[in-house]
Structure 1
Amino acid sequence: MVKLMRAAIVKVFSTKHSLTLPAAALGYIEQVLLENEIPEDEWIVGLEFWAREYLKGEDSSSLVSLPALKRAYESLQLGTTDDTAQADPSEVNVESHFSVIDSFDMPPVHFDAVRGGFTTSKPKPSIAGQASSRSAFLRERWGIIKEIILRNENFTPPAIGGHDRSNYLKLTSTRNLLGRAGQLFLLFGMLSRDPEGRLCLEDGEGRVVLDMEDAVPGEGLFTEGCMVLIEGEYTIDETVRVLAMGHPPSEKRDVARGLHGHVDFLGGGAMSLKEEQKYQPSILANTQVSFVVLSDVWLDHPRTMPALRRMLEGYAEAVEYRPMAFVFCGNFSQKGWEGEGGLKRYTNGFNALTDLLLEFPLLHSSHFVFVPGPLDPWSSTTLPRPAIPSVFASRLTQRVPKARFVSNPCRLRYFGMELVICREDLMGKMVRNLVGVKKEGEADMKRYLVQTILDQTHLSPLPISIRPTLWEYDHALRLYPMPSALVLADKYERYELTYEGCHVFNPGRFVGSGGEGGGEFEWSMYYPATGRSERSALTLDQ
């Protein structure tokens, strides 16, 4: 039977459509036919549909790739092709379209400023990093944002000459300022300090000192390391008297996906915008799918386990609405792991959590994701931060089927959606290092932070002297294309808002609001079907 099946596969894919099947692709097709118990007389028809759907893909080639073959099969299951009957979106196996992505598993995608596109480097990134990487990641960040700016309608000159041609905004490089004192210019670059400690603007061609006395900052938070647009006058002192300063315009996810849909940013295979839109009916139909996000789950706090037990009991009783994933963000200790008895407290805390999760076997169909916080072992000042060591995680991962300890940040992929999770006290770091902020009225710091992070297309728009990053893993901190949702888990108060189509929320401290005497324990639930989050809370009796 296997020989007959293989002959049918070769007849359709190789003989009729001139496709080359590697062993992995051939084995996958055989596996699908056997698992679904397809009758022999239906092989040819089914394989023909499959081959046609594969050839429709934007990344199809004569050498069949396994990811593209799987996506073609998923499209047939979803019933989103012209050749198949419409399937019920609510009956799609959503579990097969969910994945957790560690920062250190993401492919090293780099921006090529010459070609204006992205490429994937073959050498594996190094934690130590080469000396050339020290400046390369900043140039890439600058190049990505500059491309976004030049695509913006305000910076694009009309195709046909006319009086409107002089009205568009035009960028000038720092190199072209010399000898043009007294003129106004629009500059784009990164805020930094020169060796004398003066605030400067750096671009790909040079550096100029800024005079901020008359500056009027726009909305957002401005720190060293931010890429900014500056309007100002070049003076005879070879400085720029800044008149206005603002963040660059952002680019919505659909626009970026339309331009770079062929790039595999996450490592699970590239997905075009057209393919992503095929999944929309399934996302909307599965309204019961949700992700629970908690932050600052202090396992050494006396009231944490009772609160977690109450929370898990509630979800275990909800038969039809059990969450697809529970995301636990650190810190997992109130006092940190350093100091006397720190490691023992950590071990006891995770052992207690393991025992608690084992009491709820009905929830073991859910994923349990653990993201380290700033004080978790082995705490490092760099981002991305590796997962909590297996010495603490092994017992939990061995006994809870879908438990996984991942890096900070990490990403959840659900169909074509992308949820970025970052546990970082970002608000405090940004406010402590401000060089400018709008002073008119009361600033909405939550909105300013969200706007800054998304406009900068990066989770840490700060200099590496303040917020060190692993040079060759900077791509894992990139927010381009803009994610579907972003979790900025912070010890700052909770919030939720949407900016340029991206829903951003901070679940707040799970234990922090409880205090020593009880009180509320809060977290957030994110629903992919609506693209929004909701606050959840419980109160323990005294």
Structure 2
Amino acid sequence: MEDEKVLRREIIKTFQLNAFELKREAVNLCTELFKDNDKEKRQRWLNKMIAVLKKQSLKSPLISEEIIRDIFRQCKSKGVQDAGKLLNVFDAFSLKPYEYDAELKKMIIRKEKPSLAADSASFANAIRQRFLLVKQRATRCTTLKNLKFTTCECLLSSNKTINGVVILGMLTQQKADCYHIEDLTGSIEVEFHDDTRFHHALFHEHCIAIFEGTFETGVLRVNEVAPVPVECADTTRKELSSNENWFGGEDKIAFRCNERLEASLASHPESAIVILSDVFLDDEKVLKGVYHLLEGYCQIPPVAFVFCGNFCSRTRQKETMALLDRGFRWLANQLNEFKDSYQKTQFIFVPGPDDPLVDMILPRPNLPSMLFKHISSVVNCTFASNPCRIQYASQEIVVFRNDMVKKMCRHSINAITPDSIPSRFARSVLSQAHLCPLPMHISPVIPDWSHALALNPLPDILITADRFESFTENVAGSGCIVTNPGSFSRSNFGFQVYYPQQRKVEASQIPADS
């Protein structure tokens, strides 16, 4: 009893030091939540909860039990890592802001704390970091050793005609139908012609690529455009002489460098992760499809179900939130029927581009907390950000729900055939080492959180939950699988199953007669 009194005083004091006052019921709840934790873990949780509280628009410093319960759910969904679990989910906003330092030639944590209130310096730094990540891979690539790269500054200082110019730069459009290449030293105008050869990738505004051509009268007439070769994660770590964890969580050592986790992965050969995208919970047919999916896997439950949005077929309307609320209640009822089968399965919910509440900008926070209550009381669930990162044993998995294939194809300057889109898209994203290599006016990104969209080093699998048709691509030399499950609601209930230990993706579908 004395220990409980000490715990209550500790909780009350911690909140008071941060200008919050707990109601009696709130103190009781906190005491119940943390009574079995040691002091260090308890303090870590309290600090996380207070950090989330400070971001809330509260009318009063008096904190109720309901608010504490909601804040605790949010903290639980933001990538709190349990070392005893093989599977952990990391929220984009919890990731440390690692950046590449060109002078030290290593990854360091940015000193300034990320901010939502971005200024021009933040935008410039985000683009600069994207360029540096690609450039540092290009400079050490063995296939590019024989090429002599130049810079925009060197070309601008010359009045001569120079043949065989090779330059690494970012393609920009400063005015209509007038393209430029930019690097860290300046900008030059470029001109493409009918004979310009484009390698197998998607080339669009703000892509970073290798351009070869003839420089004359201040213009580079481009003969050939190629993506920077991809670099597998093992090579990246070897070149940077680091096994540090840049992926997420509190572990200091990278998961793929952890022998215990490698052994755990090997001992679970049948583990599976089921991936669905565009799960319309306001559609009765879709809910029936989900029910048959849950019923089909209840005998051999997977490690996780990854449900990606959009979760409502009627987006951006007044009734969207009401439809979502009802849809998650219906889903909770279905899960309740099979909850005994899925006690060890994690359900991960990733918002889509049209889900409330934040519009379009990346990364997107998790779904509204009011939807937590329906699911969290039934199964183990995480309402994740978009994108989010998942660690399973020694494997690193990135999930990104955005219709990026369509956007990149629409703004591509090179001609492409429909059947080549999946392989071109996969190579382009891995070459850019970034989930969103498009300009801000096409696909806006919070600049201080651009690091959350970076792919350095490359993960084991990148799940691009796009509306585009289902595909799986293994880009040579990358060590990374790029896969897209397609739209569950629009494709006769198609989905994918990933087997981590086997590094295999299988396309699947709910039988038509179901």
Shift of 1:169: 0.8
TM-score (norm 1): 0.76
Q: What's the CA shift for 1:268? A: 2.8
1:477 equivalenced with 2:453 (yes/no)? yes
- SS in structure 1 at match of 2:230: coil
Distance 1:406 1:304 in 2: 22
Give the C-alpha shift of residue 94 in structure 1.
9.7
**1:414 is the counterpart of 2:397:** no
Q: Indicate yes or no: 2:245 matched with 1:266.
A: no
Deviation per CA, 1:232-281: give whole Å up to 9, x if none. Answer: 11002x00010000111111111113333225341332325883355333
Given that residues 245 and 255 in structure 2 are in contact (C-alpha distance below 8 angstroms), is that contact kept between their aligned partners in structure 1? no
Counterparts of residues 337-376 of structure 1 (less than 5 Å): 338-361=316-339, 362-376=341-355
Cross-structure match for 2:484: 506
Rg comparison, structure with higher value: 1
Q: Which amino acid aligns with 2:494?
A: E
Distance 1:263 1:181 in 2: 48
The alignment partner of 1:434 has SS state of coil
CA 1:273/1:367 → structure 2, altered by over 3 Å: closer, same or farther? closer
Which of 150, 154, 161 is 1:176 aligned to? 154
Structure 1, residues 125-154: CA drift from partner, whole Å, max 9, x if none?
112223311100111111111110111113
Structure 1 residues 285-434: aligned runs within 5 Å: 285-318=267-300, 322-336=301-315, 338-361=316-339, 362-397=341-376, 399-434=377-412
2: CA distance, partners of 1:497 / 1:485: 10
2:236 aligned partner, one-letter code: A
Task: Return closer, same or farther for 1:538/1:438 CA change in 2, 3 Å cut-off.
Answer: closer
The answer to whether 1:537 aligns with 2:513 is: no
Task: Look up the equivalent residue of 1:133 and give its one-letter code.
Answer: S
Q: Which runs of 4+ in 1 moved over 4 A?
A: 24-28
In the TM superposition, residue 25 of structure 1 has moved relative to its aligned partner by 11
Cα pair 2:335 2:379 within 8 Å, conserved: no
Change (3 A) 1:278 1:464: same
Contact 1:312 1:360 in 2 (8 A): yes
Deviation string for 1:414-453 (max 9, x for gaps)? 22210100011111101111112467xx761100000000
In 1, the alpha carbon distance for the partners of 2:373 and 2:113 equals: 27
- State the Cα distance separating 1:460 from its structure 2 match: 0.9
Q: Does 1:234 align with 2:215?
A: yes
Q: Distance between the aligned counterparts of 1:96 and 1:274, measured in 2?
A: 15
- 1:220 paired with 2:208, answer no
Instruction: Say if 1:176 and 1:443 are closer, same or farther in 2 by CA, change over 3 A.
Output: farther
Q: Choose 172-181 or 199-208, whichever is displaced more.
A: 172-181
Asked if the contact 2:265–2:394 (Cα under 8 Å) also holds between the matched residues in 1, the reply is no
Deviations 1:498-540 (CA, angstroms, capped at 9, x unpaired): 11221111111112123xxxxxx21111111111111121125
For 1:459 and 1:194, locate their aligned partners in 2 and report how far apart those are by CA, in whole Å: 23
- Alignment map for 1:487-502 (pairs within 5 Å): 487-499=463-475, 500-502=478-480
Q: Which runs of 5+ in 2 are unaligned?
A: 1-36, 42-81
The C-alpha deviation readout for 1:465-504, integer Å capped at 9, x for no partner, is 1111010000000011000001011111101121122111
Structure 2: which amino acid aligns with 1:144? L
Aligned residue identity for 1:370: F
* Structure-2 residue corresponding to 1:211: 191
Residue identity matched to 2:470: R
Relative distance call for 1:345 and 1:218 in structure 2 (3 A) is same
1:104–1:26 CA distance, 2 compared to 1 (3 A): closer
Task: Identify if the C-alpha distance between structure 1 residues 432 and 274 changes in structure 2 by more than 3 Å, giving closer, same or farther.
Answer: closer
Amino acid in the other structure paired with 1:501: G
Q: Tell whether the 8 Å contact from 2:328 to 2:375 is kept in structure 1 after alignment.
A: yes
Match of 1:116 among 94, 105, 113: 105
- The C-alpha deviation readout for 1:290-336, integer Å capped at 9, x for no partner, is 11110010011121121111111111122xxx211110000101111
Distance between the aligned counterparts of 1:226 and 1:380, measured in 2?
Answer: 24
Question: Is 1:460 aligned with 2:420?
Answer: no
C-alpha distance in 2 between matches for 1:248 and 1:490: 24
**Aligned equivalent of 2:496:** 524
The farther-off stretch of 209-218 and 258-267 is 258-267
The separation in 2 between residues aligned to 1:302 and 1:373, in whole angstroms, is 19
Q: Which amino acid letter does the alignment assign opposite residue 113 of structure 1? A: A
- In 2, Cα distance between equivalents of 1:245 and 1:488: 25
Query: Which residue does 2:225 correspond to in 1?
Result: 245
Aligned-pair CA distance for 1:95: 5.9
Q: Distance in 2 between matches of 1:149 and 1:370?
A: 36
Tell me the equivalent position of 2:165. Answer: 185
Shift of residue 230, structure 1, vs aligned partner: 0.3
The alignment's TM-score, normalised by the length of structure 2, stands at: 0.79
From the superposition, tell whether residues 25 and 230 of structure 1 become closer, same or farther in structure 2 (CA, over 3 Å).
farther
Query: RMSD of the alignment, in Å?
Result: 2.2
Q: CA, structure 1 residues 479+274, in 2 after alignment: closer, same or farther (shift >3 Å)?
A: closer
Q: Distance in 2 between matches of 1:175 and 1:104?
A: 37
Cα 1:308–1:458 change in 2 (3 A) is same
Q: Figure out how many residues of one structure are paired with residues of the other and give that number.
A: 430
**What CA distance in whole angstroms lies between the structure 1 residues aligned with 2:197 and 2:229?**
17
Match for residue 42 of structure 1?
none
**AA at the equivalent of 1:103:** A
Aligned residues of 1:276 and 1:416 also touching (Cα < 8 A) = yes
Q: Could you tell me whether the CA contact under 8 Å between 1:109 and 1:119 is conserved in 2?
A: yes
Distance in 2 (CA, whole Å) between partners of 1:264 and 1:498 is 23
Q: In structure 2, do the counterparts of structure 1 residues 250 and 195 end up closer, same or farther at CA, with 3 Å as the change threshold?
A: same
Alpha-carbon offset, residue 348 of structure 1: 0.6
SS in 2 for 1:328: strand
Change (3 A) 1:124 1:27: closer
- 2:457 and 2:38 map into 1 onto residues whose CA distance is 30
Alpha carbons 1:218, 1:438 under 8 Å: kept: no
Aligned to 1:284: 266
Q: Aligned partner of 2:198: which letter?
A: P
Q: Percent identity?
A: 31
Aligned mates of 1:471, 1:127 — CA distance in 2? 8
Checking the alignment, whether the CA contact within 8 Å between 1:297 and 1:511 is kept in structure 2 is yes
